[in-house]
Amino acid sequence: MPRCISAALARNFTAASKPAATAQLLLNARLYPMTTANVRQAFLIAFIVTLGGFVFGLDAAVISGTVPFITSKYNLTEMQVGTAVSAPGMGVLFALLLAGYVCDRFGRKKALLLVAGLYLISAVWSALATSYITLVIARFIGGLAFTSLSLASMYLGEIAPPKWRGKLVAMNQTSIVLGFAAAYFINYYILLASRSDAAWATDWALTTQAWRWMLGSEIPFALLWFIGLFFVPESPRWLFRNGRAADARAVMGKFLPPAEVEEEIKEVEQSLRKGTASLSVMAQFTQLFTPRLRLVLLLGIAISAVQPATGINAVLFYAPTVFEQLGGGTDTAFRQSAVVGLVSVVFTIFAILLIDKLGRRPMLIGGLIWCIASLAICAYGFKTARYELTAEAVATLPAQVNKPALQPLVGVTYRSDTEFKNALKGAVGEIQVRDHSSVLLQKAAQINATLILFGIMSFISAFQFSVGPIMWVLFSEIFPTAVRGVAIPSFAFITSIVSYVITQFFPWQLSTLGAANTFLCYVAFALIGLVAVHRWLPETKNKTIEEVELAFEAASRKRNA
Residue-level pLDDT at 225: 94
- pLDDT average, residue stretch 274-279: 49
Answer yes or no: CATH 1.20.1250.20 is held by domain 295-385+447-561.
yes
CA-atom Rg of the chain in angstroms? 25
Under DSSP, the state recorded for 147 is: G
Residue-level pLDDT at 251: 78
Tens digit of pLDDT for each residue in 422-432? 998 888 888 88
Residue 363: which H helix or E strand, with range? helix 360-383
Query: Which one, of 462, 447, 459, lies nearest residue 519 by Cα?
Result: 459
- pLDDT average, residue stretch 12-35: 43
Share of the chain above pLDDT 90, in %: 19
Tens digit of pLDDT for each residue in 321-360? 777 777 666 667 677 777 888 888 889 888 878 877 888 8
Q: Quote the pTM value.
A: 0.74
Query: Which one, of 114, 117, 116, 99, lies nearest residue 154 by Cα?
Result: 99
Query: Which ranges of 2-131 does DSSP label H, i.e. alpha helix?
Result: 2-16, 19-31, 36-74, 78-106, 108-127
Residue-level pLDDT at 20: 45
Q: Where are the domains of the chain?
A: 1-12+35-278, 295-385+447-561, 386-446
Tens digit of pLDDT for each residue in 429-480? 888 888 788 788 888 888 888 899 899 999 999 998 988 888 877 776 777 7
Residue 42 has pLDDT above 60, yes or no: yes
What integer best gives the mean pLDDT of the chain? 80
Measured on CA atoms in the order 247, 251, 257, 260, is the torsion positive or negative? negative
Residue 384 has pLDDT above 60, yes or no: yes
Lowest mean pLDDT: which of 121-125, 131-135, 247-251, 389-393?
Answer: 247-251
Asked whether this chain's domains 1-12+35-278 and 295-385+447-561 adopt the same fold, the reply is yes
Lowest mean pLDDT: which of 155-164, 196-205, 490-499?
Answer: 155-164
Domain 1-12+35-278: CATH architecture, name and number where available: Up-down Bundle (1.20)
Under DSSP, the state recorded for 160 is: S
